[in-house]
Structure formats: structure tokens, C-alpha cells
Amino acid sequence: MAAAALQDVDLPRRFGRYVLFDQIGEGGMARIYLAATETELGGQRLAVVKQILPLLAAGPEFSRLLTEEAKLAAQLSHKNVVQVFDLGRAEDTLYIAMEYVEGFDLRELLRHCSQAKVPLPIEFSLLVVMETLRGLDYAHRLRNEAGEPLGIVHRDVSPSNVLTSFEGEVKLCDFGIARALGSGADIPDEAIQGKAGYMSPEAALGKPIDARADVFAAGVILWELIAGRRLYRGAQGRAPSLDDAREAIIPPLPARGYPDEQRLHAVVMRALEKDPAQRYPSARDMLQDLERWVVSGGLFSSSLRFGEWLLEQFGQQMLERRRARERVALGIFEEKRPSAHAVRPPPDEEPEHVEVPRMQPLPASLERLAQRRQSPAPKRTLAAVLALMMLALLAAAIYLVR
């Protein structure tokens, strides 16, 4: 996640049952923190806490929709979807807590690449998009216990919601939040700034949307990763507008010299069809065509290689800084928790003797039985057993000779 321009200097600090220790983002909707929390068993785990800005949280309709969508998102359990595990209020602030993915969102990763003049290899770009499509396909097809489709649509598939980890994972976050933002409540412009650049034409026109709107957004991301620039270029550096999204004018992709490049371009342009009926009907259909091209072109990559590349290029400095803050935050839990040795006396006060309960005497009948079992077997009984064994061996030998 992107680092905020203005960092919260009052860190670490408590917020409900969390200790916030690093501000990792801030936008028109929320202030985002890396936090530590205690589990029911007394351990600690990291989480991302999104504090919804007061102007939004004060609206009852927005709060209601956000709560509904967060509950729905909490049902999603997939390797390419960020897990939501908490929603509540603390200090009169509405928040969502979710799984922490240690790495960058795609927007931040591309900015790092630009600043360091390190190109993102095409095989990793394709991996990011394919993993995103896997997460979308799972969410789009999810059903309830009665077997009815839940009709989940992300509505805000954009680089800031595609997270990449130093383990090479790719996870999609913030399912349903765009629906709350589109509730008609008094939403500030900065809360939806930048959304238009990845919005489908039907969404920009206010029409009903389905999974194909997410396919369009994935197509925009893939177009930009191949072209190396934003799809909609506003005049004098302005952000893409709703008019850009409604018109959906898609320039041709530049040639990059990839194997059978026209097939790749055809996949992108079908995902970006203005008419949803001409678009890929599902994320799975787009994923299958993309995978076929990747395999045929020999551009297949793995999460392991992607994670190693991320760590080598950008990870070390960020991890060192974050680990230092994390140790401080976890230390707050340790200060309030009694030591694990507090219930035990110090070593020099350990008792020298521990009393062991005496065994009660056995009844006479059991005593005799125990003595009989412990006494050695009579010699004559042992001799008889040996004699029988010898006779059995002799009989077997005679039978074989015959």
C-alpha cells in the first residue's frame, strides 16, 4: 500500500483492540494503518486497519452499505482475495480490519519502478493480471448455502486495490466499497478521484453492472502494463474523468516484440469492448485466453520468482523500517501481559522436595496374583515347553523328507 504523504507522528498508539504502528496510506475515503492485535490464544498478528474518514462514516446510508458489503466480503476466502476479519467502531470511528499483505499495491510498485528506472518484466505483469482474474472469477461465482449466486461485483478493480507481496502473492482488496461510495450520499470528490480511469462505460453511464464491468477494469490494467502509460491521457495532467470512461476510446497497443503479439492484443481489446455483450462474459474466459497465450509464448512465471524479484529490487529498506516499528508495537502487548514465569517461583526458591502420594496396599487376593506373575517360571514348566518345540520341529523335518 502506498505510503501517505503526511504520516501520523503519534505512533504507535492504541485504537480499540489494535495497536497502530505504521501509517501506510491515506486517501479520500480512509486513513490506513498497519496494526498489531492479540488473538484469543494470546498471540499477536498483523492487520491492516482502515479508518473511514468522519465525513463518510457520519452518513447513515454509507455506513449501512459499507457494513453490508464488509459482511459479504468477509465470506470470501481465496488465495487471491484479501481476507476481511473485523468491522466496527472505536473512538467513534468506523473501521475495517483485514489481512496484511506485506509488499506494495500495484500503483505503488509501478511508481517505485519508474523512480528506480527498473522496468516491470512482462511475465510478472501478466502474472499479476492473471492472479487478479482468478480472484475475480472466484468472487463472481460464489454462492450461498442455498446454492444461489451472491452476485458479487468488485466495482473498483484498479492498481491501488491489487496488492503484491514479497512472497509473490497477488491479492485483490476492497470488495464492495465502491458500492457504498456510489450510494448517493454526500461523498467528497477526492473519495472517488481516480476511479474513472478503470470504470466500465456502463458504470460511468449509471447503468446496472455485472461481472463484465470487472473484466473491463482488468483489461485497462493489462493495457496500461503493456503500454507503459495510463489509458486515458487527460489534458495538462488532469485525472481521467467520467466522460473518458463513458466514451471508452481505446488506442491501439504499441508493438513490443512479444511472440504472436497480435493474439495478446486481441485478448486486451476484447476485454475493453465498449458494449458488454461483445466483451468477455466472465473473468474465467479472459483468464483462459491469457493463459493460453502465456504458455504458447513461453512467458509463464511463478509467484516464487516474482516474490524474489520484488524483495531484491525494493524490499530490504522497507522491511527493516517496518520491523523496527513492529517490535515497538508488540512490546506494548508484552508490557501489559504478565510474564510467563510470574506464576513460578524463581530458580533459587524452587522447592527441594516434592511430595509424592503413597501407594495404597493391594488387597490380599490381588497381592498374591501380582506375586505369582512376578515370580520366575518353574524350571520344569520351561523344560516341558522346550521339549514340545523340539518335537514339532522334528515332525516338520520328517514331513519335508517324505
> Which residues carry out catalysis?
156
Q: How far is it, in rounded angstroms, from Cα 321 to Cα 74?
A: 30
C-alpha cell at 228: 507503459
Task: Answer whether 73's CB lies under 8 Å from 175's CB.
Answer: yes
Q: In what order do the strands lie in the sheet with 162-165?
A: 103-105, 162-165, 170-172
CA 330 – CA 310 distance, rounded (Å)? 26
Going by C-beta distance under 8 Å and a sequence separation of 6 or more, which residues neighbour residue 136? 154, 157, 172, 211, 214, 215, 218, 283
Which of 170, 176, 165 lies closest to 140 in space, CA to CA?
176
The H or E element that residue 22 is part of is strand 18-26
Q: Rounded distance, CA 54 to CA 19, Å?
A: 20
Please name which of 173, 153, 156 lies closest in space to residue 24, comparing C-alpha atoms: 173
Distance CA 317, CA 310 (A): 12
In contact, 22 and 325? CB cutoff 8 Å: yes
Whether 259 and 298 have beta carbons less than 8 Å apart is answered as yes
Distance (Å, whole) CA 91 – CA 88: 10
Which CA distances in Å does 45 have to 17, 101, 103, 161, 330? 12, 12, 16, 22, 9
What single-letter DSSP state applies at residue 236? Answer: G
CA distance 256 to 228: 11
- The C-alpha angle 280, 285, 288, rounded to 5 degrees, equals 135
- The answer to whether the CB of 186 falls within 8 A of the CB of 59 is yes
CB 132 within 8 A of CB 80: yes
